[in-house]
Amino acid sequence: MKKLNSAVKVGVVDDHGLFRNAIATLIKSKPEKYRVVIEAENGMDLIEKLSKLKTEDLPNVLTLDINMPEMDGFQTAEWLTVKQPQIKFIALSMFNDKNRIYRMIKNGAKGYITKNASSDEIYEAIDVVANNGVYINDSVSQKLFDAIKEYDADQFSKFLLDKRELQFLQLIVSEDTYKEISIKMNLSERTIDGIRNELFEKLNVKSRVGLVLYSIKKGIVNITH
């Protein structure tokens, strides 16, 4: 993981004062790495406090509770995604059920941890998200996968694909040969063969035609006339 150039600016949003203070104190205990710039008790309180900060003082990362009065975590996540998309946020909740995990990730959360997480896990989640990553531990990821399979089956398969595989699927619909695709993706033909074979296994198809049909069916590419 790359090192951060300066202390990460963190916000803590939780309606339980004791827990909010405890998380803020934990983060403040490493002033060389983190700086708490906002403590808010719900989404409305957060919006008000954000409006009073200069742009350079806005948090890089928020820890965001879900069950809060006036404006809960789901509503706050939607607002942040639209109004302050540069602020990344991690759901920090006492709940660990697939419905809440799915909704928060779908609403833009870059991480999800429970309130019984260790201090090390909280630090790690903040570091990963601050560096443009996504933090989801094994327990949460399994429940997220279960939820996606149940509620959004088409998105589930996309979720399993990396950027290179999605790009390959977008190009496979053309008349380009595998060699021409390798040139466009700036990869060796051998690497392209590996991506193709991995997709055969992941998507349970056996030919290029199968990959093309999959790409069209799942909306990875749109065919217009």
| Whether the predicted pLDDT of 224 surpasses 70 | no
pLDDT digits (tens, 9 = 90+) for 146-181: 776 666 655 555 566 778 888 999 899 888 999 999
Q: What DSSP assignment string belongs to 96-134? A: --HHHHHHHHHTT-SEEEETT--HHHHHHHHHHHHTT--
CB 64 within 8 A of CB 76: yes
pLDDT confidence tier of residue 5, bands split at 50, 70 and 90: low
pLDDT digits (tens, 9 = 90+) for 26-77: 999 999 999 999 999 999 999 999 999 999 999 999 999 999 999 999 999 9
Instruction: Return the pLDDT at 87.
Output: 97
Residue 105 Cα to chain centre, angstroms:
6
Mean pLDDT computed over every residue of the chain: 88
What is the spatial order of strands in the sheet that 61-64 belongs to? 34-40, 8-13, 61-64, 88-93, 111-114, 135-136
CB 2 within 8 A of CB 50: no
Instruction: Return the pLDDT at 2.
Output: 42
Give 70's contacts (C-beta < 8 A, 6+ positions apart). 42, 43, 44, 45
Comparing 14-28, 38-52, 113-127, 188-202, the range with the smallest average pLDDT is 188-202
Q: How far is CA 47 from CA 80, 104, 143, 198, in A?
A: 9, 18, 30, 45
- Assigned CATH for 8-151: 3.40.50.2300
Give domain limits for the chain. 8-151, 154-217
pLDDT digits (tens, 9 = 90+) for 122-147: 999 999 999 988 898 888 887 877 77
- Predicted TM-score of the model (pTM): 0.66
Q: What DSSP assignment string belongs to 136-171? A: E-HHHHHHHHHHHHHH-HHHHHHHT--HHHHHHHHH
| Whether the predicted pLDDT of 85 surpasses 80 | yes
Q: What topology is assigned to 154-217 in CATH?
A: Arc Repressor Mutant, subunit A (1.10.10)
Could you tell me which residues are beta bridge partners of residue 39? Answer: 12
Q: What mean pLDDT is predicted for residues 78-90?
A: 95
